[in-house]
Structure 1
Amino acid sequence: MDSFRRYPQWLELLSDEDLAFVRRLVLASGSLKAIAAEYDVSYPTIRLRLDRLIERIRLVERFAIETPMEQALRIAFAEGRMDQETFKALIALHRQDRPHSAALQAAAPPPGVVVPPIPEPPAPPAPPAALSHIAPQTFVSKLSVI
């Protein structure tokens, strides 16, 4: 037997709590009533939890999720922690930002190429001779009074 097994992506996204819920559901032969009794909650509460879990799985299977950020946004939306308007706005912003991230990665030098450091900016010029007898802190203290 092959010791390496690849699990579906949706299974990798489940929390330990979700996996325990799925395990209990399987052991209860899919009876939501039995699961509700085990958790000591109402049937509608278990139904809601199962519906949210189903929606998360569908989202993962329906979309090719390319980044961890997109994955987190889709899960938050599926769990009802974010409204649709906010979800769409954040996904759009994330997709706009992705080309910039890719461009920065593409602009990185190839391995083995040493890029010289950016030189330090020159020191500010000395104050005019007429003001050299006044300490710089004096200006700051007078400005803070204004």
Structure 2
Amino acid sequence: MNKDEIPAWVLALNSEDLEFVKNFIISSGSLKEIAKNYGVSYPTVRIRIDRVIQKIEMNVNLEKEPLISYVKQLAIENRINIEDAKSIIEKYKSERMSNNE
């Protein structure tokens, strides 16, 4: 899989979040197991997973925004090139994400 095929929600997660998701999967989704492995309480793990969920949901919702759809349509119609479309979308996303934090 090349970088262009990686879902945007995955790219929105930092390395710490990705490591947490990996450990979550390895532990078969057991928050108790993750809490034990990290040496923290269950509520602490629950808060962490809720934050990761929020990041993913925010990015998924962002993909549905009209401006992003419009820019993608412009690229499909060859009215702008793909690289410019990606650049506009990434800039828009980064500004929206920083405004929501």
- TM-score normalized by the length of structure 2: 0.65
Query: Could you say what the CA RMSD is over the residues aligned between the two structures, in angstroms?
Result: 1.6
Identity of aligned residues (%): 38
Residue of structure 2 equivalent to 1:9? 8
Q: CA deviation at 1:71?
A: 2.1
Residue of structure 2 equivalent to 1:44? 43
Ranked by relative contact order (alpha carbons within 8 Å, sequence separation 6 or more), the top structure is 2
Residue of structure 1 equivalent to 2:99? 73
Q: Where in structure 2 are there 5+ consecutive unaligned residues?
A: 69-88
Q: CA deviation at 1:23?
A: 0.4
Q: CA deviation at 1:73?
A: 2.2
Residue of structure 1 equivalent to 2:60? 61
More helix, by proportion:
2
Q: Where in structure 1 are there 5+ consecutive unaligned residues?
A: 77-146
Offset from partner CA, 1:33-86 (integer Å, 9 cap, x none): 000000000000000000111011111111237412112223x2xxxxxxxxxx
Alignment of 1:1-146 (within 5 A): 4=2, 6-63=5-62, 64=65, 66=89, 67=92, 68-74=94-100, 76=101
Offset from partner CA, 1:6-46 (integer Å, 9 cap, x none): 11111001111001000000000000000000000000000
Larger radius of gyration: 1
